[in-house]
Amino acid sequence: MFAHALGLSPGWFPGCYTTYQNILPAPIVLLDEGVFISPDSATLFDQIGPDFANYYKARGFDWKRLAGAKVVGIEGYSARDYIDKVARTDSGGFLDHNVRVNSVVSSYQMTGGNFTQRLGDVATNPFLKQTSLQFSLVPKDSLSGLPERVIVPFVTLFSGAPFSDGPS
């Protein structure tokens, strides 16, 4: 299943809730120097296939340039305040706030003897609540070092079992 391959949130969901996965090509990570778009996100999302890349290409959006960008703010909040907000209001499955914060950011996990990357609750959601997320970030290749505003669109990918008839 696609959701499992990307290491998305564990838990039990009826099949109708995991048929589609909403993904933002900007999973965030906490590094020593602050909050960043996962440096390996371009490589990770290349594995999804050409439809993913073609969706963004058709919209003139270069999602690969986000990899490794320093995140200053998200949706008008400082990056850390936004992470805390999502942990308080949207992240589920755990009572402890610190564990919920860990669910907000991208992380690696071992699944079936292989490493997978969980995208985190900022970059994935089984229910589409918004169509994009606004970042204030400094791209890795920035010459000025000044933050720029980037609106990153979500893409919805089919992650269910293939079907070819109405009853399926």
Span 124-149, mean pLDDT?
Answer: 89
Closest alpha carbon to 64 in 155, 116, 140: 140
pLDDT of residue 38: 94
| Percent of residues, the chain, with pLDDT higher than 90 | 38
3-class SS letters over 35-51 = EEECCCHHHHHHCCCHH
In this model, does residue 132 exceed pLDDT 80?
yes
Contact 71, 34 (CB under 8 A): yes
Fold type of domain 2-7+23-158 = Pdz3 Domain (2.30.42)
In this model, does residue 1 exceed pLDDT 50?
no
Q: Which of 21-30, 85-94, 108-117 has the highest mean pLDDT?
A: 21-30
Q: What angle do CA 26, 29, 35 make, to 5 degrees?
A: 95
Q: Higher pLDDT residue, 74 or 91?
A: 74
